[in-house]
Structure 1
Amino acid sequence: MGDIHIDTKLRADLAVREMLAATFQLVADVPTTVTTGCGQRVPLAMTSGDPGVVTCPPCREFAQREHLRLADLVQDLGLMPGSVIAVGTATSAAAKHREIAARFGGPVGG
């Protein structure tokens, strides 16, 4: 059995698909393969967004970096004058991304 990876979009395509389905009852096709954080192309079924499940070390490092980058972006967005995201909401979202990043930096299953 091979490693479990994370796709380069951090499974955002699936979240968008679920939101569209819930809102408009429109369902886009799920991709059969995705590009991973380690640069491979693998079946979607061999990916996860859960830090306790991803076993590919380069994918874990990629996910950790991306979640830290997203934390900084959302934090900065919340601090911009006239932002549509309240400071408290941005701070909370940034903290969640940092927590996920920390989990990707730890052991698998942790």
Structure 2
Amino acid sequence: MGEGDPHIHVEVKVVRSQAAVRTVLAATFGLAGDLPSTVATGCGLRVPYAMTSPRPDRVTCLACREHARAEHLRLADEIERIGGLPGSPVAAAEARQAAARHRALAERFSSGAGG
């Protein structure tokens, strides 16, 4: 399970983390489920949830940093594609802005400093 692993990781679903989903459910319905004690990470390990972060400045596992970078770039491409579709609920300009934010976040994951 990654016992004794000193690194901070990202969840395998870094752009759809369980904590973010939990926050949306709590804000929308007033429901708050328990977070799992361990989660799958971008590098393939299962680690305690407390040893993960979605913030580039906190993630020290290089494989997880690369995974998060790739996921944010993939999401940026997907957002732009959706924004360009006829009848899209997201305007093209908004989609470009959201995609740019994810590309900037991906860049932060690719740098060693993360900040």
RMSD, aligned α-carbons: 1.2
Question: Which residue in 2 is equivalent to 1:8?
Answer: 12
The TM-score with structure 1 as length reference comes to 0.95
Q: Shift of residue 12 of structure 1? A: 2.2
Structure 1 residues 109 and 94 mapped into 2: Cα distance closer, same or farther (>3 Å)? closer
Structure 1 residues 109 and 98 mapped into 2: Cα distance closer, same or farther (>3 Å)? closer
The TM-score with structure 2 as length reference comes to 0.91
- Determine helix, strand or coil for the equivalent of 1:42: strand
Write out aligned runs for 1:1-110 (5 A): 2-10=6-14, 12-110=17-115
Q: Shift of residue 29 of structure 1? A: 1.6
Q: Deviations over 1:13-42 (max 9, x none)?
A: 211111111121111121111000000000
Q: Shift of residue 109 of structure 1? A: 4.3
Q: Deviations over 1:67-108 (max 9, x none)?
A: 000000000000011111111111111001000000000013
Report runs of 4+ in structure 1 exceeding 6 Å deviation: none
Return the letter of the residue paired with 1:2. Answer: P
Q: Shift of residue 44 of structure 1? A: 0.4
Partner Cα distance (1:28, 1:94) in 2? 30
Aligned residue pairs, count: 110
Structure 1 unmatched ranges of 5 or more: none
Partner Cα distance (1:7, 1:99) in 2? 19
